[in-house]
Structure 1
Amino acid sequence: MTELRAAARGPVWKPLLVATLAAFAVITIGGLLTDIGPWYRGLTKPSWQPPNWVFGPAWTMIFALAVVSAVSVWRATTDRAQHAWIIGLFAVNAGFNLLWSALFFALKRPDWALAEVGFLWLAIALPMVVFWRLSKTASLCLLPYLLWVSFAAFLNFTIVRLNPPFG
């Protein structure tokens, strides 16, 4: 019976390819928006901030788990309306993820990024709640992302506090 349901869902490679390409697109655009240049290096940062080299591997793991989440929840559903919701939730999340990078790094407005990070946090928590009944794996794979953004929000808050007004 499980094999019949799995066959009805179709091959795994299609959603895996789409999710991986989407993740690479967000990683690439986010990377282009993230300039760790003189402005960022000149900010006062807390002593507990991880070294810059930690962020790349952390985001790589987070996006790999997001791909697993997307594929898991996609394969747990066959309804077009549910598939539209899945795509929509990940698209909204990608938008808020990129907006945070644009605000913090490209526009050099950590204060605006701090206001936006709550929306990013919700754009991670909401799919976790929605996906829970469809695929616990999909939901749990987003937990490191939620924890990382929670940490990043506190780091963002601290950077805003430690530095003069922006703009």
Structure 2
Amino acid sequence: MRRTSAVPLSGTSAGSPSSGRIAGAAGAVAATAVAGSLAVDTGSAWYRGLSLPAWQPPGPVFGAVWTPLYASLAWSVSRALDRTEHGRDRRRTAAAFGANLVLNAGWNVLFFRAHRPVAATAGAGLLALSSADLARRAHRTDPVAGAALVPYAAWCAFATALTARIARLNR
């Protein structure tokens, strides 16, 4: 991907993604959040029976963290896509974004619905790699958008470590 000129795209201001692109990215992220949350069941007998590490954050922290991460994901990806000059690169970044969202919602299904912590660890690892790749892709086009994705990639890496520890504790 190449950086574009500083000229705003699609009538946007220099720092804002186009309204259509941000709406599409926000819609995709919101659908992912809803799909993922529908799979979560912390009240199930299975979940309540798990041994959890002492360093697992309390339940409310997850919502407090995921909300701004999802917002920054939608903003960053739409901003990077707006600044991607070539259609092929834009399509590749959009496909990487879509794959990331599938992995994001998929973790909840693997962990909470399928009760497969080992598989969920693999899914979380793929999500963390995908998130780092998304930050890299965004950074190549727009360093600000790439930097805004670093907390998302870091949280996904933390989630991988947490899931792996839960899997080990509950063999």
What is the TM-score when the length of structure 2 is the normalising length?
0.87
Tell me if 1:22 matches 2:23: no
Structure 2 Cα separation of the partners of residues 100 and 131 of structure 1: 23
Q: Post-superposition shift, 1:53? A: 0.6
What is the TM-score when the length of structure 1 is the normalising length?
0.89
Alignment: residue pair count:
161
Give per-residue Cα distances to partners, 1:43-69, cap 9 Å, x unaligned.
111111110011011111110010111
Q: Any gaps of 5 or more consecutive residues in structure 1?
A: none
Structure 1 Cα separation of the partners of residues 122 and 84 of structure 2: 34
Which residue of the other structure, out of 147, 156, 164, is the alignment partner of 1:149? 156
Tell me if 1:117 matches 2:128: no
Tell me if 1:13 matches 2:19: yes
Q: Post-superposition shift, 1:141? A: 1.4
Which residue of the other structure, out of 28, 38, 44, is the alignment partner of 1:32? 38
Structure 2 Cα separation of the partners of residues 151 and 126 of structure 1: 16
Higher helix share: 1
Give per-residue Cα distances to partners, 1:111-155, cap 9 Å, x unaligned.
111122221111111122222220111211111111111111111
Code of the aligned partner of 1:121: A
Code of the aligned partner of 1:9: S
Q: Post-superposition shift, 1:82? A: 2.3
Instruction: Give yes or no for contact 1:9–1:78 (8 Å, CA) kept in 2.
Output: no
Structure 1 Cα separation of the partners of residues 110 and 74 of structure 2: 25
Code of the aligned partner of 2:66: W
Alpha carbon RMSD of aligned pairs, Å? 1.5
Superposed, 1:3-152 pairs within 5 Å as 5-6=7-8, 8-11=9-12, 12-38=18-44, 39-152=46-159
Q: Any gaps of 5 or more consecutive residues in structure 2?
A: 13-17
Q: What is residue 15 of structure 2 aligned with on the other side?
A: none
What SS does the corresponding residue of 2:115 show, helix, strand or coil? Answer: coil
Q: Post-superposition shift, 1:77? A: 2.1
Code of the aligned partner of 2:35: I
